[in-house]
Chain A
């Protein structure tokens, strides 16, 4: 795959508070010609009975991807730009180790193909200088793809964070989430 035009200055930013739950990202993701009409981003209510808040979960593209580490078939690879790929169809055995291991709950087993599928940061678009489909269409700015300086200028009250602490496990990701200014990490106990 040719990634020569992958723009390394562009990054992915997620700002949960802006998510309006519209699912434009899910619909647009499925339009990508490589996805076979599967959406690889998910929007969910947190607890609809008490709030309208939704969350949007895209693959965080971990620096040390646990999904790849636990794969017994070596089906998940990471490229030089830090993009973690969906399972190689020839290798994936559909065991769901990655599904269970991912701290963000991203990979999903697509039963009809007996295959794990997940976001590849739209490599077919990002590799030719376009933005990922989900971040392009997102009407509220919950998803943004661009440079760090762009988002810092646009959103002076928040800051990108890519360190997550799940109990004793530390995870650093390629994808950033926007947190209140001064935040350095997100701790989840």
Chain B
């Protein structure tokens, strides 16, 4: 039974989201804290250093941490307000269970865990091991990511474990593995400093990675040219040397045309291409017809601007290319990624100072979390679950028979499909709010309602967890020791500033206890997080993501260590590929043909407008945390429809008029924000909100064939103005929308 036990309004009344504000004079004890804990922000992949102020086992404030080298005290609004969660009134302080007609009631840990274990056993005995699935997430530490991979395969014994990185970094990961044989951003951000050209494509850096802005300006102050590719005039694009206002879904056409321009004008590094790469000829053959005129037609970008960007890129001696979800969340996300890499390889600007390339990982531990084996096809060290040698090695580390290691399971959205089909009956989730974050979420809700048993670990009752039978009160990032790996590939220490409040427990202790009750205590006994990390080091040894030489001590003494770091005397690897020995089977960097193809849904007479989605600066992903922090809610109280004045005029849409946006999946109503900073053929809606305010009622669930990442960034919609002006934004209660 995974239907809501009572109305959603009643659940919200008790469990929120409610907005939390600090008291006017701050929390008691802020000025005389017991402890000042040097740790990291819980939100994005920048993993900014921050100090948390602790009084009587409560987080009561923050103080910038000036010494941490990436951000030197700098923070975004989310970072400034991140401390307001430990003290939050919505915080789950004990396990709760679903009671039909009543909602969620407090229960004991024993009862909650007994019921969880008995339901896991019942479902697996009746329907098979794989009928119980697990969904995880990469806001979790390296230790927890590793532990969950092991837990699912060894204790739960299911192949169907996947994670929310499926929405975040899998296209980049697949593209990097194709090209380099390894999945990590190639450089740390200090390589931005003297780059002559920086190209940022599909990355709204100023809103989603604000502290990275500083590094880009550092380069610009030294004369770097900035190319920004985005359908919208995002804050970073406003002052860019070239802004390519691309039509959503046409990225690979642009990169293809730029590659052809480099070839036609011989702006190539022939020595690098000849000696250190493969696949060049078939890759340039694939773009031989991609003229600037053709690209202008497809992408909607003035051909002179494309030419300017290609010339800037082609003539530079040093450069850095950065991309993020804007090009990755597509049914051809992997093509877009390899299209970018082709431009980097063609100019040979990698593996040298100030020659950089990388995806900007979105989630806090998006980098580390995607290496340690809680993906459906992966084992620790970024190993392949279908590779016999990899299976053998990890089975030995875990002390199991290789035959008992499950095989490759379903990816996140495919798990939802399998629940629909009735093949999966049970779900265990942590750190994932698919009801807000997955596309076509009406379909996701229907799936949840078909589950026979759903157990969730979370610190707040997120929208998806409202469908759970049991919710286990877990821990915030600042309530458990561990490490994460930032978007630069830097392994850093996350500190336990406080213990979980009330009867809440650390996520790790909950997972270990369930493993024990499932009969696997011998393989799930650790003294502390460091012991889990030390096992992770061994498990990663010899894999492409090799952490073996990294210890807590080294991380603490050096403010982080960059993997790969295979031995304890290895300095770590801030910049990859200096030896030009790539991790592909032939040791070369691979060009990959990326011919342009259409997005899965194109505009037509019925749905004539392109819809794209994204984020705002004060909210983070599905909003489980940030929709509960008062000032972050107030900064952007509601989602909106960003629309160009010329398109608005076609429909007679007025500023803040409510507009119904419909797609083949669903419809939703948003106030219009009429701005010249977006393409005329495209509308934009940010996606952080739930229920009737959710943009993901509209988005399409077509998956990239390789990465299985959904196509959030482009679909076709129609607009219908409602003839009514929206109430003032500050009156909106979208943060807790039903």
Residues of A within 8 A of B (CB): 17-18, 20-24, 26-28, 30-31, 33, 36-37, 48-54, 131, 133, 136-141, 154-157
Contacts and interface: CB of A to CB of B under 8 A. Distances in A.
Interface string B224-236: 0000000001111
A139 B635 contact: no
Contacts of B237: 52
Given A20-B206, A22-B77, A23-B617, A50 B676 contact: yes
B210 A24 contact: yes
14 contacts: A20-B207, A24-B76, A27-B81, A31-B80, A37-B24, A37-B26, A48-B675, A50-B676, A54-B235, A137-B73, A137-B76, A139-B71, A139-B74, A157-B221
A158 to B, nearest CB: 8
B29 to A, nearest CB: 12
Given A23-B635, A33-B30, A140-B206, A49 B80 contact: no
A23 B21 CA distance: 16
A137 B213 contact: no
A17 B71 CA distance: 20
Given A20-B236, A52-B238, A52-B677, A27 B77 contact: yes
A48 B631 CA distance: 21
Given A36-B24, A53-B238, 8 more contacts: A21-B617, A22-B77, A49-B645, A49-B674, A50-B677, A51-B233, A52-B675, A139-B75
Contacts of B64: 133, 136-137
B210 A22 contact: yes
Contacts of A133: 64
B637 to A, nearest CB: 13
B73 A136 contact: yes
Contact of A31 (B61, B76, B234): B61
B77 A24 contact: yes
Nearest to A34: B25
Interface string B340-353: 00000000000000
Contacts of B235: 20-21, 52, 54
Contacts of B206: 20-22, 140
Nearest to A156: B221
B238 A37 contact: no
B562 interface: no
B31 A22 contact: no
Nearest to B677: A52
B674 A23 contact: no
B238 A137 contact: no
Given A23-B618, A156-B221, A51 B677 contact: yes
Contacts of A131: 73
A52 B79 contact: no
B22 interface: yes
A182 to B, nearest CB: 16
Contact of B676 (A22, A36, A49): A49
Among the interface residues A21, A26, A154, which one has the most CB atoms of the partner chain B within 10 A? A21
Contacts of B26: 31, 33, 37
B21 A20 contact: no
A150 B218 CA distance: 13
